[in-house]
Structure 1
Protein backbone atom coordinates (compact mmCIF):
# COMPACT_ATOMS: atom_id res chain seq x y z
CA UNK A 1 0.00 0.00 0.00
CA UNK A 2 1.32 3.43 -0.92
CA UNK A 3 1.98 5.86 1.91
CA UNK A 4 1.45 9.55 1.14
CA UNK A 5 3.37 11.95 3.40
CA UNK A 6 1.92 15.45 3.40
CA UNK A 7 4.02 18.50 4.26
CA UNK A 8 2.97 21.65 6.09
CA UNK A 9 2.93 23.86 3.00
CA UNK A 10 0.34 21.67 1.29
CA UNK A 11 -1.66 21.28 4.50
CA UNK A 12 -1.67 25.04 4.83
CA UNK A 13 -2.80 25.71 1.26
CA UNK A 14 -5.52 23.04 1.25
CA UNK A 15 -6.52 23.83 4.84
CA UNK A 16 -6.90 27.56 4.22
CA UNK A 17 -9.63 26.83 1.69
CA UNK A 18 -11.19 23.88 3.55
CA UNK A 19 -10.21 21.24 0.99
CA UNK A 20 -8.09 18.76 2.97
CA UNK A 21 -10.57 16.01 2.12
CA UNK A 22 -9.21 16.07 -1.44
CA UNK A 23 -6.23 14.10 -0.12
CA UNK A 24 -8.54 11.08 -0.11
CA UNK A 25 -8.25 11.02 -3.92
CA UNK A 26 -4.96 9.14 -3.46
CA UNK A 27 -4.90 5.36 -3.37
CA UNK A 28 -2.97 4.84 -0.18
CA UNK A 29 -2.60 5.86 3.43
CA UNK A 30 -2.22 9.59 4.07
CA UNK A 31 0.35 10.32 6.79
CA UNK A 32 0.74 13.68 8.54
CA UNK A 33 3.58 13.33 11.07
CA UNK A 34 2.89 15.18 14.33
CA UNK A 35 5.72 17.75 13.81
CA UNK A 36 4.21 18.55 10.41
CA UNK A 37 0.75 19.05 11.91
CA UNK A 38 2.25 21.22 14.67
CA UNK A 39 3.81 23.48 12.04
CA UNK A 40 0.37 24.41 10.68
CA UNK A 41 -0.66 27.09 13.17
CA UNK A 42 -2.45 29.65 11.00
CA UNK A 43 -6.23 29.81 11.00
CA UNK A 44 -8.42 28.50 9.45
CA UNK A 45 -5.89 25.92 8.24
CA UNK A 46 -5.08 24.77 11.81
CA UNK A 47 -8.72 24.14 12.71
CA UNK A 48 -9.42 22.41 9.40
CA UNK A 49 -6.33 20.25 9.87
CA UNK A 50 -7.42 19.30 13.40
CA UNK A 51 -10.77 18.13 12.05
CA UNK A 52 -9.06 16.25 9.23
CA UNK A 53 -6.69 14.49 11.64
CA UNK A 54 -9.65 13.49 13.81
CA UNK A 55 -10.93 11.44 10.86
CA UNK A 56 -8.21 8.87 11.53
CA UNK A 57 -5.19 10.10 9.56
CA UNK A 58 -1.92 8.57 10.73
CA UNK A 59 0.39 10.99 12.58
CA UNK A 60 3.29 8.76 13.63
CA UNK A 61 6.92 9.60 12.99
CA UNK A 62 9.34 6.95 11.75
CA UNK A 63 11.90 7.72 14.45
CA UNK A 64 14.30 4.95 13.42
CA UNK A 65 14.88 6.83 10.15
CA UNK A 66 15.23 10.38 11.54
CA UNK A 67 19.03 10.17 11.69
CA UNK A 68 19.13 9.12 8.05
CA UNK A 69 16.81 11.98 7.09
CA UNK A 70 18.97 14.45 9.01
CA UNK A 71 22.06 13.11 7.28
CA UNK A 72 20.44 13.50 3.87
CA UNK A 73 19.43 17.08 4.67
CA UNK A 74 22.50 17.95 6.72
CA UNK A 75 20.17 19.15 9.48
CA UNK A 76 20.52 18.86 13.26
CA UNK A 77 16.95 19.64 14.35
CA UNK A 78 14.00 17.35 13.84
CA UNK A 79 11.35 19.32 12.01
CA UNK A 80 8.70 18.83 9.39
CA UNK A 81 11.14 18.20 6.52
CA UNK A 82 13.07 15.59 8.45
CA UNK A 83 9.94 13.71 9.51
CA UNK A 84 8.62 13.58 5.95
CA UNK A 85 11.92 12.34 4.60
CA UNK A 86 12.21 9.81 7.44
CA UNK A 87 8.89 8.42 6.18
CA UNK A 88 10.24 8.26 2.65
CA UNK A 89 13.33 6.40 3.85
CA UNK A 90 11.22 4.00 5.92
CA UNK A 91 8.76 3.10 3.23
CA UNK A 92 10.53 3.40 -0.07
CA UNK A 93 10.83 0.25 -2.08
CA UNK A 94 13.29 0.23 -4.96
CA UNK A 95 11.19 -2.33 -6.83
CA UNK A 96 8.04 -0.20 -6.59
CA UNK A 97 8.69 3.52 -6.87
CA UNK A 98 5.03 4.19 -6.09
CA UNK A 99 5.36 2.71 -2.58
CA UNK A 100 5.78 6.20 -1.10
CA UNK A 101 4.69 9.67 -2.18
CA UNK A 102 5.12 13.21 -0.88
CA UNK A 103 2.76 16.16 -1.19
CA UNK A 104 4.67 19.39 -0.60
CA UNK A 105 5.46 22.80 -2.04
CA UNK A 106 8.88 22.87 -0.32
CA UNK A 107 11.49 22.57 -3.08
CA UNK A 108 14.12 20.93 -0.87
CA UNK A 109 11.68 18.30 0.36
CA UNK A 110 10.37 17.70 -3.15
CA UNK A 111 13.81 17.32 -4.74
CA UNK A 112 15.17 15.15 -1.95
CA UNK A 113 12.10 12.90 -1.81
CA UNK A 114 12.16 12.48 -5.56
CA UNK A 115 15.86 11.61 -5.43
CA UNK A 116 15.04 8.96 -2.82
CA UNK A 117 12.51 7.37 -5.15
CA UNK A 118 9.25 8.92 -3.95
CA UNK A 119 6.55 10.20 -6.23
CA UNK A 120 6.09 13.93 -5.63
CA UNK A 121 3.22 16.36 -6.13
CA UNK A 122 1.86 19.61 -4.71
CA UNK A 123 -1.45 20.84 -3.38
CA UNK A 124 -2.35 21.79 -6.95
CA UNK A 125 -1.53 18.24 -8.03
CA UNK A 126 -3.92 17.01 -5.33
CA UNK A 127 -6.71 19.10 -6.85
CA UNK A 128 -5.91 17.89 -10.37
CA UNK A 129 -5.85 14.26 -9.22
CA UNK A 130 -9.13 14.68 -7.36
CA UNK A 131 -10.75 16.15 -10.47
CA UNK A 132 -9.51 13.26 -12.59
CA UNK A 133 -10.32 10.50 -10.06
CA UNK A 134 -13.50 11.82 -8.45
CA UNK A 135 -16.62 11.84 -10.59
CA UNK A 136 -18.22 14.24 -8.09
CA UNK A 137 -15.57 16.98 -8.47
CA UNK A 138 -16.15 18.68 -11.79
CA UNK A 139 -13.39 20.48 -13.67
CA UNK A 140 -15.17 23.76 -12.96
CA UNK A 141 -15.15 23.08 -9.21
CA UNK A 142 -11.48 22.07 -9.37
CA UNK A 143 -10.57 25.27 -11.20
CA UNK A 144 -12.33 27.28 -8.49
CA UNK A 145 -10.35 25.44 -5.81
CA UNK A 146 -7.07 26.16 -7.64
CA UNK A 147 -7.98 29.85 -7.83
CA UNK A 148 -8.96 29.95 -4.14
CA UNK A 149 -5.67 28.34 -3.12
CA UNK A 150 -3.86 30.84 -5.30
CA UNK A 151 -5.70 33.73 -3.62
CA UNK A 152 -4.91 32.45 -0.11
CA UNK A 153 -1.16 32.66 -0.20
CA UNK A 154 0.22 29.89 -2.39
CA UNK A 155 0.63 32.27 -5.30
CA UNK A 156 1.28 30.77 -8.67
CA UNK A 157 2.92 32.41 -11.62
CA UNK A 158 0.50 32.94 -14.49
CA UNK A 159 2.16 30.06 -16.34
CA UNK A 160 1.76 27.61 -13.45
CA UNK A 161 -1.84 28.66 -12.79
CA UNK A 162 -2.75 28.09 -16.44
CA UNK A 163 -0.93 24.74 -16.39
CA UNK A 164 -2.84 23.58 -13.28
CA UNK A 165 -6.16 24.77 -14.70
CA UNK A 166 -5.31 23.24 -18.07
CA UNK A 167 -4.51 19.86 -16.56
CA UNK A 168 -7.87 19.86 -14.80
CA UNK A 169 -9.67 20.53 -18.06
CA UNK A 170 -7.98 17.62 -19.86
Structure 2
Protein backbone atom coordinates (compact mmCIF):
# COMPACT_ATOMS: atom_id res chain seq x y z
CA UNK A 1 0.00 0.00 0.00
CA UNK A 2 1.30 3.44 -0.89
CA UNK A 3 2.09 5.83 1.94
CA UNK A 4 1.63 9.55 1.26
CA UNK A 5 3.65 11.84 3.53
CA UNK A 6 2.54 15.46 3.84
CA UNK A 7 4.79 18.38 4.59
CA UNK A 8 3.64 21.50 6.45
CA UNK A 9 3.39 23.66 3.32
CA UNK A 10 0.82 21.36 1.75
CA UNK A 11 -1.09 20.99 5.02
CA UNK A 12 -1.11 24.78 5.37
CA UNK A 13 -2.32 25.34 1.79
CA UNK A 14 -5.15 22.82 1.93
CA UNK A 15 -6.03 23.64 5.55
CA UNK A 16 -6.32 27.38 4.97
CA UNK A 17 -9.09 26.81 2.43
CA UNK A 18 -10.75 23.91 4.28
CA UNK A 19 -9.90 21.29 1.65
CA UNK A 20 -7.87 18.68 3.55
CA UNK A 21 -10.55 16.12 2.67
CA UNK A 22 -9.20 16.15 -0.90
CA UNK A 23 -6.39 13.95 0.42
CA UNK A 24 -8.91 11.13 0.48
CA UNK A 25 -8.59 10.98 -3.33
CA UNK A 26 -5.25 9.21 -2.86
CA UNK A 27 -5.26 5.45 -2.91
CA UNK A 28 -2.98 4.90 0.05
CA UNK A 29 -2.28 5.71 3.66
CA UNK A 30 -2.01 9.44 4.39
CA UNK A 31 0.70 10.26 6.93
CA UNK A 32 0.95 13.68 8.57
CA UNK A 33 3.85 13.35 11.03
CA UNK A 34 3.43 14.94 14.46
CA UNK A 35 6.13 17.59 13.78
CA UNK A 36 4.17 18.61 10.66
CA UNK A 37 1.00 18.96 12.73
CA UNK A 38 2.92 21.09 15.24
CA UNK A 39 4.39 23.26 12.44
CA UNK A 40 1.00 24.63 11.33
CA UNK A 41 -0.56 26.37 14.35
CA UNK A 42 -2.08 29.10 12.14
CA UNK A 43 -5.87 29.36 11.98
CA UNK A 44 -7.98 28.18 10.26
CA UNK A 45 -5.45 25.49 9.26
CA UNK A 46 -4.99 24.24 12.84
CA UNK A 47 -8.73 23.74 13.39
CA UNK A 48 -9.28 22.19 9.97
CA UNK A 49 -6.32 19.86 10.50
CA UNK A 50 -7.54 18.84 13.95
CA UNK A 51 -10.96 17.98 12.54
CA UNK A 52 -9.41 16.10 9.61
CA UNK A 53 -7.20 14.04 11.93
CA UNK A 54 -10.15 13.27 14.23
CA UNK A 55 -12.42 12.20 11.40
CA UNK A 56 -10.07 10.44 9.06
CA UNK A 57 -7.84 7.45 8.86
CA UNK A 58 -4.60 9.42 9.04
CA UNK A 59 -1.35 8.32 10.62
CA UNK A 60 0.83 10.78 12.53
CA UNK A 61 3.89 8.66 13.30
CA UNK A 62 6.83 7.68 11.12
CA UNK A 63 9.59 5.09 11.25
CA UNK A 64 11.81 6.28 14.11
CA UNK A 65 14.63 4.09 12.79
CA UNK A 66 15.22 6.46 9.88
CA UNK A 67 15.20 9.78 11.77
CA UNK A 68 18.97 9.97 12.23
CA UNK A 69 19.56 9.05 8.61
CA UNK A 70 17.09 11.73 7.45
CA UNK A 71 18.78 14.32 9.68
CA UNK A 72 22.10 13.41 8.13
CA UNK A 73 20.75 13.60 4.57
CA UNK A 74 19.27 17.06 5.21
CA UNK A 75 22.10 18.30 7.43
CA UNK A 76 19.58 19.19 10.15
CA UNK A 77 20.28 19.30 13.87
CA UNK A 78 16.66 19.14 15.02
CA UNK A 79 13.94 16.62 14.30
CA UNK A 80 11.52 18.81 12.42
CA UNK A 81 8.84 18.36 9.81
CA UNK A 82 11.21 17.89 6.86
CA UNK A 83 13.22 15.26 8.72
CA UNK A 84 10.16 13.20 9.62
CA UNK A 85 8.76 13.36 6.08
CA UNK A 86 12.08 12.19 4.62
CA UNK A 87 12.42 9.51 7.31
CA UNK A 88 9.25 8.01 5.88
CA UNK A 89 10.71 8.09 2.38
CA UNK A 90 13.93 6.47 3.59
CA UNK A 91 11.99 3.69 5.31
CA UNK A 92 10.50 2.78 1.93
CA UNK A 93 13.80 3.16 0.07
CA UNK A 94 15.06 0.05 1.78
CA UNK A 95 12.05 -1.94 0.60
CA UNK A 96 11.71 -3.56 -2.80
CA UNK A 97 8.78 -1.39 -3.94
CA UNK A 98 10.13 2.17 -3.89
CA UNK A 99 7.12 3.48 -5.80
CA UNK A 100 5.01 2.84 -2.70
CA UNK A 101 5.82 6.24 -1.23
CA UNK A 102 4.82 9.77 -2.15
CA UNK A 103 5.41 13.23 -0.72
CA UNK A 104 3.06 16.21 -0.91
CA UNK A 105 4.99 19.42 -0.28
CA UNK A 106 5.83 22.80 -1.75
CA UNK A 107 9.21 22.87 0.01
CA UNK A 108 11.87 22.66 -2.72
CA UNK A 109 14.47 20.93 -0.57
CA UNK A 110 12.01 18.29 0.61
CA UNK A 111 10.68 17.78 -2.93
CA UNK A 112 14.12 17.43 -4.55
CA UNK A 113 15.47 15.17 -1.83
CA UNK A 114 12.37 12.94 -1.77
CA UNK A 115 12.40 12.66 -5.55
CA UNK A 116 16.10 11.82 -5.50
CA UNK A 117 15.34 9.07 -3.00
CA UNK A 118 12.74 7.56 -5.33
CA UNK A 119 9.48 9.02 -4.01
CA UNK A 120 6.71 10.37 -6.18
CA UNK A 121 6.31 14.08 -5.47
CA UNK A 122 3.39 16.45 -5.84
CA UNK A 123 2.04 19.66 -4.33
CA UNK A 124 -1.23 20.85 -2.88
CA UNK A 125 -2.21 21.86 -6.40
CA UNK A 126 -1.47 18.30 -7.53
CA UNK A 127 -3.83 17.08 -4.80
CA UNK A 128 -6.62 19.24 -6.24
CA UNK A 129 -5.94 18.01 -9.79
CA UNK A 130 -5.91 14.39 -8.64
CA UNK A 131 -9.15 14.84 -6.71
CA UNK A 132 -10.80 16.38 -9.77
CA UNK A 133 -9.70 13.45 -11.91
CA UNK A 134 -10.54 10.73 -9.36
CA UNK A 135 -13.69 12.15 -7.76
CA UNK A 136 -16.77 12.37 -9.93
CA UNK A 137 -18.29 14.77 -7.38
CA UNK A 138 -15.56 17.41 -7.76
CA UNK A 139 -16.13 19.20 -11.02
CA UNK A 140 -13.36 20.96 -12.93
CA UNK A 141 -15.05 24.27 -12.11
CA UNK A 142 -14.94 23.50 -8.37
CA UNK A 143 -11.31 22.39 -8.65
CA UNK A 144 -10.38 25.63 -10.42
CA UNK A 145 -12.01 27.61 -7.61
CA UNK A 146 -10.02 25.64 -5.03
CA UNK A 147 -6.75 26.30 -6.92
CA UNK A 148 -7.54 30.02 -7.02
CA UNK A 149 -8.45 30.06 -3.28
CA UNK A 150 -5.18 28.34 -2.38
CA UNK A 151 -3.35 30.86 -4.53
CA UNK A 152 -5.08 33.71 -2.69
CA UNK A 153 -4.21 32.29 0.74
CA UNK A 154 -0.46 32.43 0.61
CA UNK A 155 0.83 29.77 -1.77
CA UNK A 156 1.12 32.30 -4.56
CA UNK A 157 1.67 30.95 -8.02
CA UNK A 158 3.17 32.72 -10.94
CA UNK A 159 0.61 33.38 -13.66
CA UNK A 160 2.13 30.56 -15.71
CA UNK A 161 1.89 28.00 -12.91
CA UNK A 162 -1.66 29.06 -12.01
CA UNK A 163 -2.79 28.61 -15.60
CA UNK A 164 -1.00 25.26 -15.78
CA UNK A 165 -2.73 24.03 -12.60
CA UNK A 166 -6.10 25.27 -13.82
CA UNK A 167 -5.43 23.77 -17.26
CA UNK A 168 -4.60 20.36 -15.80
CA UNK A 169 -7.88 20.39 -13.88
CA UNK A 170 -9.78 21.07 -17.11
CA UNK A 171 -8.24 18.12 -18.97
- Scaled by the length of structure 1, the TM-score of the pair is 0.97
What is the match of residue 71 of structure 2?
A: 70
- Equivalent residue number for residue 58 of structure 1: 59
Distance in 2 (CA, whole Å) between partners of 1:95 and 1:161 is 36
CA distance in 2, matches of 1:39, 1:52: 16
Which structure 1 residue ranges, 5 or more long, are not aligned?
none
Structure 2: gaps of 5 or more residues? none
- Structure-to-structure mapping, 1:121-136, within 5 angstroms: 121-136=122-137
Partner residue in 1 for 2:99: 98
Residues 92 and 98 of structure 2 are in contact (CA less than 8 Å); yes or no, is this contact kept in structure 1?
Answer: no
Confirm or deny that 1:160 pairs with 2:161: yes
Residue-by-residue CA offset, 1:109-141 (whole Å, 9 max, x unaligned): 000000000000000000000000100000000
Q: Which runs of 4+ in 1 moved over 4 A?
A: none
Rounded Cα–Cα distance in structure 2 between residues aligned with 1:153 and 1:100: 27
SS in 1 for 2:5: strand
Counterpart of 1:3 in structure 2 is: 3
Q: Which residue of 2 aligns with 1:47?
A: 47
Question: Root-mean-square deviation (CA), in Å?
Answer: 1.0
